[in-house]
Structure 1
Amino acid sequence: MSQHKIKGVVVLIKKNVLDFTDLKASFLDRVSELLGKRVSFQLISAVNCDPADKQRGKLGKVAYLEEWITKVTPLLAGETVFNVTFDWDESEGVPGAFIIKNYHHSQFYLKSLTLEDVPKTGRIQFICNSWVYPTHCYNYDRVFFTNQTYLPSTTPKLLIKYREEELVHLRGDGTGELKEWDRVHDYAFYNDLGDPEKGANYARPVLGGSKEYPYPRRGRTGRPPTKTDPTTESRLPLPISLDIYVPRDERFSRVKLSDVLVFALKSVIQVLAPEIKELYNSTPNEFDTFQDVLNLYEGVIKWPKDLLDKLSDVIPLEMLKALLRTEGEPITKFPMPQVIQEDKFAWRTDEEFAREMLAGMNPVAIRLLQEFPTTSKLDPKIYGNQNSSITREHIEKKLNGLTVDMALKNNKLFILDHHDTVVPYLNRINSTTTKAYATRTVLLLQDDGTLKPLAIELSLPHPDGEKYGAVNKIYTPAENGIEGSVWQLAKAYVVVNDQGIHQLISHWLNAHAAIEPFAIATNRQLSVLHPIHKLLHPHFRDTMYINALARQLLLTAGGLIELTVFPARFSMEMSSAAYKSWVLTEQALPADLIKRGIAVQDSNHPHGLRLLIEDYPYAVDGLDIWSAIEERVHDYCSCYYSTDDSVQGDLELQSWWTELRNEGHGDKKDELCWPKMQTLHEVTQTCTIIIWIASAYHAALNFGQFPYAGYLPNRPTISRRFIPEPGSPEYDELESNPDLAYLKTITSQLQTLVGISLIEALSRHASDEVYLGQRHTLEWTSDTESLKAFKKFGEKLIQIENQILDRNKNKGWKNRIGPVKVPYTLLYPNTSDYTGVGGLTGRGIPNSISI
């Protein structure tokens, strides 16, 4: 029997803490090596069976990782290359997988194993990218497969059992509290938002599993219930606990974790509110002038020493200094938001107010006005008459010579309508310190492509009860005097609505929450060998962990979201109500634009759509990105599904789709709008939607937060007073000092600081970001046709980048830059300009929802 030595090259990262090698772990692992407890590998044949089990591939001889003791590893925790030598003979055939056993004290991150010069085969690559814990943590063998791609029906027979068993391990048994080394992906309701142990004010309803509060599922942790309420999962301790269970491979990299610790520090502000207030002047909860706000970006805010001492009680001092990136007392000043870099007051113009509906941080809410006046869909038996009170007389003189009927017929009227979303919660919201309205804004599309606001409707529930309908007040544009000041306030109330809807629905629900079940189901039902797993997996990177952090620090009762957005404690309830109308297929960009009346099907136009607002940056750039993703997905899937029968016969794919509908989005399982997953077209469309949401859609909704809302007067998140009535002291103040009255109405000083801190962290690209058109590992598959399709996709994205830059230079497209001189780059892929630096770039489409 011919025997050979096969050289293997192993790339791994040792256990580390932040950026530094864990010396204790390193020492204990070296001791383990000296005691003969090592890291072992066994190759599994893909072609020759195990004599003891005819359904499994033959196991090769055990080989051990070499030079663990003598290898000099970097001071900074990073990749280390080791050798392993395998004894190979012809009876083993071609390896298709391997078993690894870690007998050390500590876990390590296994990146890859490469076999060189395998007889009759050549080079074989195993892409692992997984944490391997000591063997006592598992009751099964850790198995890794080659980077080849197989449908279940084309998998080598001797690897099928390994493939099936790996999926069983990833599903778990649905019981017990999960530990960090568990690799279990499972579902749970959102029953971790409340903290009833702290009192009734911190109780929150369970989201998911009921008609009243439907919701997508989250990853299960198995933590025990609270003593007060057995339906609520117990919480981890605050102020900082990042040890939230998600499967270890779904957690942040060491680089990303270092970045996010800054975010965790910011969250401590909510615990230290009394100390923060001491930072301010004689009016501790107010800004007196716009210059006071601008001072936030000029480095005049400092952390007093006693506050640093307070922080050091909850965060080790050395970590605190590292997080603050300073040895002294100043907090690093907030960067200057783009919206005020060129002009400090252009944000106040009507043109900019309207432009941001098309190119700002929430460009997915505006729709065509197809009836006038607009009507409400709320149940009149509960809410009475909620129809709009905006009349023809309010707007007709501002239609540039058109009548209302002519404007409607020519698709010239548009509306930003948050009325029905807000009204059911408005009485409860306004029973707190918040004083908000439900808003409708009607706009005219002008000949130069810009939008002109015509009227704003501010609505409150009838004082005698909701069943009596709404009390509506209409405001129309004015530039000067008290009328101009009132108009500025009316616009602020619209933005307050829009900010809450953006954060809770457009951003959190439709991206973060909606995608998490896809990440869970993909790991549970699609093998790493499956082509759809290889296609989608990069688009789930870090999503489960950032969502877990959000539930721990942001969305929890009394957390940062409740502190900084107007629905406060009713935030997640409002999000749940919005999920009742969520439909997967409507998340496709073309379907969304058609539903909102922004586009109509037209084969004579690019992408088969004619935009009714031609200068709509989000839609124009988005359709280019959408089409590129769709073409890439079709090219890729066509490599594996030659017929619709092959789709229907793919057992893993069908199990994946069934579980997504019945479990992951289980509250929507009875709806008939789901694709049936019976054709190549349905596979392509579904995967395109998933990738679109996880990459481009999320980028457009997330990374514009600091550029636009980093300056809170432009995008206030809370209103604290109603519009003053004539004759009141507040009205007199509005007339004599409109800037002060404006600042007293919108987000307070404390909430501003907390809000800016939050969105600064959320708007930053990580330094290890992987952007659309890139892969974390170049050898993610060995299939030549798939690699060609991916290369073609990257080249297409570079073309789109150039097109976006050209559009932004074209002065005819006024909505792409606007009065504030901020070019629209939120859908600029950043493929050719990737530097690995990250930060507040205001552009770039990461592969996944990772922040």
Structure 2
Amino acid sequence: MLHCKHLITPLSFKRKVVAVATPNNLTSINHRPLLLPKLPGFLSMDDVTRSQPLPLASTAAKASQNNTIDPHPKYEGKKVKGRVVLMKKNVLDLNDLTASVLDRVGELVGKVVSLQLISSVNGDPDVPGEGRIHFVCNSWVYPADKYKKDRVFFANKTYLSSDTPKPLQKFREEELVNLRGDDDDKTRELQEWDRVYDYAYYNDLGNPDKGQEYARPVLGGSSEFPYPRRGRTGRPPTKTDPNTESQLKLVMSLNIYVPTEERFGPLKLSDLLAYGLKTIPQVLKPELKALLVGSHNEFNNMQEVLKLYEGGIELPDGLLKYIRDSIHEELFKELFRTDGEKFLKFPVPQVIQDNKSAWRTDEEFAREMLAGVNPVAIRRLQEFPPASKLDQKAYGDQTSQITKEHIEHNLKGLSVDEAIKNKKLFILDHHDALMPYLRRINTTSTKTYSSRTLLFLENDGTLKPLAIELSLPHPDGDQFGCISKVYTPSSHGVKSSIWQLAKAYVNVNDSGHHQLISHWLKTHAVIEPFVIAANRQLSVLHPIHKLLHPHFRETMNANAIAREVLTNAGGIIEETVFPSKFSMEWSSVMYKNWVFPEQALPVDLIKRGMAVEDRKSSQCTLTDRGLSICC
């Protein structure tokens, strides 16, 4: 166990560096504090010693320095020898020069620079029964005055609670108390150095102080808008609504609180910013925004879209230098990596590499039901015509208007009943999910339909579309049902154009469902409470914690930033996904249907009719591969 108490830089001579350690989880060699000197030219911090003081190496130094010292006379005995690698917090910030200045100023004025402890390996063949001990620390460490309790790092071993060595039990329990914030003031705003994992509602999506049109309901804590919990930040409420938590300014959004262990690494952050800048020209200079989207903020034709893949954008004189001087080198490389001086050049989608019109074909439209952005929505059709599960008292008769006459001529000689029996018919159904919100959605500048799409499984394993049903709420009221129209494939004349438009509406619905439900809700939002609970209840020594951590890491940071710039009122999601201002509210309604046991891939596939209990009878290669990974 590595027990860190104080941390200073070599230019700050106001505080001694103290190391407190139990070098061995099982055998106690020396539990008393050891005094370490400051090593000139290196970053000093607490660590374990036994036989030699630890050589400390900053990222700027290519070699470490070993100094031999005598133990403090008060604490005689051997010391642990080892090596600690430290990195300055700002060393990989957005701009290297700025980061260097920030670190140096902090040192010169006597302020302590926070560091990330990347690794600490303490090895000594003389440690009885142990030998080499590895501490997995990869953590941000702050000055001692920022902590109420000392930082504790455990050796890379696993113990169930009942098997934990007695000397470690106290530290194990105290660490969980610290992470839960049991002794913390629940009303205060959490700071960068805090390590508290606590729960809160989604009450920070709106910004009523900016205007009533930016007010949003609180998600979570009610039967009307249930939602998974997020991590608590403790920011003060807005002036207009005490139930809404205030938001950070855009430039500070990356600094939103998450526990220190959950923060993005520098390279991951560069990737995130690069992809963000590629899709958010609003954050760049006004002349670049005008260059990208023109005065109408939209594409006028397909050729303008294809230009993004064909050559990027030629930057005006001076703008390239402005970008180069303003951002970190890794971020600059990511933005320009595809074509040197060409900015925002996107990789060409494989589907149009050989044929720029391939995306228009029925074959590609159907293929993307399984291999596109949202392959987890399609299901096998088991009744005809497709029925609705909406409450008939509230929404009237919502049964599909697709008839046998619409599709039987494309079933290879099969009747509809025979095709269903032979597991040949599939449906992409976004009708029930959208209809209750469709009237409200269509009051915004965004307009769409609810949709049902029927598909037929060919003998070669490919799908082909049979019919698309587009529906709108009845103009006389929801209780009167809906107004529907059915479209079938056509390759000539006006009917062909209408068919393409019908497919476009299906893709709009499927993409929006992917962004808000399959991706955001079911991949990000529902996982955050598990991340919080795991860190509150499972010690880092617990084997299950070690298994879960690689899957959970950085999720809270991604979600926190998303609440500031993606899912917030007026954010990117509301500007780009069809439910507009109702996007998050709609995802809350969809969360009512989320059932944890059904998220297991085999259960989900069986529920959707995409597989049966016998694994050999799965319907598609994607299913086989998914099951092989899952099982």
What TM-score comes out, normalization by structure 2 length? 0.84
Equivalents in 2 of 1:522, 1:330: separation in Å? 45
Aligned amino acid, residue 108 of structure 1:
L
Aligned partner of 2:112 among 82, 99, 105 = 105
Shift of the alpha carbon at 1:600?
0.9
Q: Secondary structure at the match of 1:241?
A: helix
* 2:438 counterpart of 1:426: yes
* 2:141 counterpart of 1:123: no
Equivalents in 1 of 2:250, 2:311: separation in Å? 29
Shift of the alpha carbon at 1:284?
3.9
Higher RCO (Cα < 8 Å, 6 or more apart):
1
Q: Secondary structure at the match of 1:512?
A: helix
- Using a 3 Å threshold, how does the CA distance of structure 1 residues 186 and 550 change in structure 2: closer, same or farther? same
| Cα deviation digits, residues 517-544 of structure 1 (max 9, x gap) | 1111111110011111111111111111
Equivalents in 2 of 1:302, 1:104: separation in Å? 44
Contact 1:270–1:560 at 8 Å: present in 2 too?
Answer: no
* 2:19 counterpart of 1:40: yes
Aligned partner of 1:29 among 9, 12, 26 = 9
* 2:327 counterpart of 1:319: yes
- Using a 3 Å threshold, how does the CA distance of structure 1 residues 332 and 168 change in structure 2: closer, same or farther? same
| Cα deviation digits, residues 773-816 of structure 1 (max 9, x gap) | xxxxxxxxxxxxxxxxxxxxxxxxxxxxxxxxxxxxxxxxxxxx
| Cα deviation digits, residues 624-664 of structure 1 (max 9, x gap) | 1112xxxxxxxxxxxxxxxxxxxxxxxxxxxxxxxxxxxxx
Report what 1:348 is aligned to: 360
Report what 2:587 is aligned to: 575
Aligned partner of 1:464 among 466, 476, 480 = 476
Flag structure 2 segments of 5+ consecutive residues without an equivalent: 43-54, 81-87, 89-109
- Using a 3 Å threshold, how does the CA distance of structure 1 residues 78 and 233 change in structure 2: closer, same or farther? farther
Shift of the alpha carbon at 1:195?
0.8
Aligned positions of 1:709-788 closer than 5 A? none
Shift of the alpha carbon at 1:239?
4.7
Contact 1:358–1:616 at 8 Å: present in 2 too?
Answer: no
Contact 1:47–1:94 at 8 Å: present in 2 too?
Answer: no
Aligned positions of 1:454-533 closer than 5 A? 454-533=466-545
Report what 1:207 is aligned to: 219
* 2:179 counterpart of 1:167: no
Contact 1:444–1:453 at 8 Å: present in 2 too?
Answer: yes
* 2:160 counterpart of 1:151: yes
Contact 1:68–1:82 at 8 Å: present in 2 too?
Answer: no
Aligned amino acid, residue 624 of structure 1:
S
Aligned length: 579
Shift of the alpha carbon at 1:319?
2.2
Aligned positions of 1:276-315 closer than 5 A? 278-279=290-291, 284=296, 287-299=299-311, 301-304=313-316
Equivalents in 2 of 1:468, 1:9: separation in Å? 68
Contact 1:418–1:440 at 8 Å: present in 2 too?
Answer: yes
- Using a 3 Å threshold, how does the CA distance of structure 1 residues 64 and 486 change in structure 2: closer, same or farther? same
Aligned partner of 2:397 among 374, 385, 397 = 385
Shift of the alpha carbon at 1:37?
2.6
Aligned partner of 1:357 among 353, 366, 369 = 369
Aligned amino acid, residue 144 of structure 1:
F
RMSD of aligned residue pairs (Cα, Å): 3.5
- Using a 3 Å threshold, how does the CA distance of structure 1 residues 401 and 580 change in structure 2: closer, same or farther? same
Equivalents in 1 of 2:61, 2:269: separation in Å? 13
- Using a 3 Å threshold, how does the CA distance of structure 1 residues 277 and 44 change in structure 2: closer, same or farther? closer
- Using a 3 Å threshold, how does the CA distance of structure 1 residues 125 and 399 change in structure 2: closer, same or farther? same
Q: Secondary structure at the match of 1:31?
A: coil
Report what 2:418 is aligned to: 406
- Using a 3 Å threshold, how does the CA distance of structure 1 residues 118 and 278 change in structure 2: closer, same or farther? same
Report what 2:629 is aligned to: 625
Tell me whether 579-588 or 379-388 shows the greater mean CA deviation. 379-388
Shift of the alpha carbon at 1:331?
2.1
Tell me whether 441-450 or 278-287 shows the greater mean CA deviation. 278-287
Equivalents in 2 of 1:36, 1:212: separation in Å? 54
- Using a 3 Å threshold, how does the CA distance of structure 1 residues 625 and 418 change in structure 2: closer, same or farther? same
* 2:604 counterpart of 1:592: yes
Equivalents in 2 of 1:271, 1:129: separation in Å? 32
Q: Secondary structure at the match of 1:262?
A: helix
| Cα deviation digits, residues 415-472 of structure 1 (max 9, x gap) | 0000111111111111122120100001111111111111000001111222211100
Aligned amino acid, residue 574 of structure 2:
E
- Using a 3 Å threshold, how does the CA distance of structure 1 residues 80 and 268 change in structure 2: closer, same or farther? farther
Contact 1:150–1:531 at 8 Å: present in 2 too?
Answer: yes
Aligned partner of 2:270 among 255, 258, 261 = 258
Contact 1:66–1:82 at 8 Å: present in 2 too?
Answer: no
Aligned amino acid, residue 153 of structure 1:
S
Report what 1:244 is aligned to: 256
- Using a 3 Å threshold, how does the CA distance of structure 1 residues 47 and 541 change in structure 2: closer, same or farther? closer
Shift of the alpha carbon at 1:318?
2.5
- Using a 3 Å threshold, how does the CA distance of structure 1 residues 45 and 332 change in structure 2: closer, same or farther? closer
Report what 2:32 is aligned to: 60
- Using a 3 Å threshold, how does the CA distance of structure 1 residues 109 and 378 change in structure 2: closer, same or farther? same
Report what 1:559 is aligned to: 571
Q: Secondary structure at the match of 1:117?
A: coil
Contact 1:9–1:81 at 8 Å: present in 2 too?
Answer: no
Aligned amino acid, residue 514 of structure 1:
V
Q: Secondary structure at the match of 1:164?
A: helix
Shift of the alpha carbon at 1:130?
1.5
Tell me whether 232-241 or 246-255 shows the greater mean CA deviation. 232-241
- Using a 3 Å threshold, how does the CA distance of structure 1 residues 420 and 158 change in structure 2: closer, same or farther? same
Shift of the alpha carbon at 1:389?
0.5
| Identity in percent | 57
Flag structure 1 segments of 5+ consecutive residues without an equivalent: 1-7, 16-27, 50-56, 96-101, 628-851
- Using a 3 Å threshold, how does the CA distance of structure 1 residues 261 and 278 change in structure 2: closer, same or farther? closer
Shift of the alpha carbon at 1:480?
1.2
Contact 2:516–2:583 at 8 Å: present in 1 too?
Answer: yes
Equivalents in 2 of 1:94, 1:321: separation in Å? 42
Aligned amino acid, residue 372 of structure 1:
F
Aligned positions of 1:600-615 closer than 5 A? 600-602=612-614, 605-606=615-616, 610-611=617-618, 613=619, 615=620
| Cα deviation digits, residues 241-274 of structure 1 (max 9, x gap) | 3110001121011222233232454575346798
Report what 1:695 is aligned to: none
- Using a 3 Å threshold, how does the CA distance of structure 1 residues 277 and 37 change in structure 2: closer, same or farther? closer
Aligned amino acid, residue 150 of structure 2:
D
| Cα deviation digits, residues 531-588 of structure 1 (max 9, x gap) | 1111111111111101111111111111111111111111111111111111111111
| Cα deviation digits, residues 594-617 of structure 1 (max 9, x gap) | 000111112xx45xxx21x2x342
Aligned positions of 1:790-829 closer than 5 A? none
Report what 1:185 is aligned to: 197
- Using a 3 Å threshold, how does the CA distance of structure 1 residues 277 and 317 change in structure 2: closer, same or farther? closer
Shift of the alpha carbon at 1:485?
1.0
Q: Secondary structure at the match of 1:599?
A: coil
- Using a 3 Å threshold, how does the CA distance of structure 1 residues 407 and 87 change in structure 2: closer, same or farther? farther
Q: Secondary structure at the match of 2:253?
A: coil
What TM-score comes out, normalization by structure 1 length? 0.63
Q: Secondary structure at the match of 2:385?
A: coil
Report what 2:386 is aligned to: 374
- Using a 3 Å threshold, how does the CA distance of structure 1 residues 72 and 520 change in structure 2: closer, same or farther? closer
Equivalents in 1 of 2:570, 2:304: separation in Å? 27
Contact 1:214–1:580 at 8 Å: present in 2 too?
Answer: yes
Q: Secondary structure at the match of 2:125?
A: strand
Equivalents in 2 of 1:558, 1:141: separation in Å? 42
Aligned amino acid, residue 241 of structure 2:
D
Q: Secondary structure at the match of 1:388?
A: coil
